[in-house]
Structure 1
């Protein structure tokens, strides 16, 4: 192996290292973007669930049903007739 081959090998290794580092940085950036998007959607879903719970509680209050727990016993179908 002569000096030129050794230099070519070092340059090739350096190029490959730079390529892999760049690729990993791009992947990290994409995963970060996806993570932020997922967290934002989860927060949005939580807000929607809270709004839905509040609407249900408001409706229950209007109907005169006490308690705000979603697990409170509901009226059976037989009670409606």
Structure 2
């Protein structure tokens, strides 16, 4: 009888542990997805800013009478 009671108690603890782990994993997944989305958004924004910067540099070079190369980093 005693071993049955311990087994039932162990089963309850295992079920509780499983629930805690599933909740933790769900929270981690949600945070990961949120962080991934924010990172992707920031990278896209950075890409747009770099393109704008390259465009502005090319315009300034044109105004200064310099020939803009296809790779702005060579002349900077």
The question of a shared fold, defined as TM-score above 0.5 by the shorter chain, is answered with: yes
Structure 2's unaligned 5+ residue stretches are none
The count of residues paired between Structure 1 and Structure 2 equals: 73
How far 1:51 moved relative to its partner?
Answer: 0.2
Structure 1's unaligned 5+ residue stretches are: 75-81
Q: For 1:59 and 1:12, locate their aligned partners in 2 and report how far apart those are by CA, in whole Å.
A: 69
State the match for 2:64 in structure 1.
63
In the aligned structure 2, how far is the partner of 1:64 from the partner of 1:29?
53
| Higher fraction of helix | 2
User: What is the aligned partner in structure 2 of residue 20 from structure 1?
Assistant: 21
Q: State the SS of the aligned residue for 1:39.
A: helix
Alignment partners' CA distance in 1, 2:11 and 2:36: 37
Superposition RMSD in Å: 1.5
Considering only CA atoms, is the larger Rg found in Structure 1 or Structure 2? 1
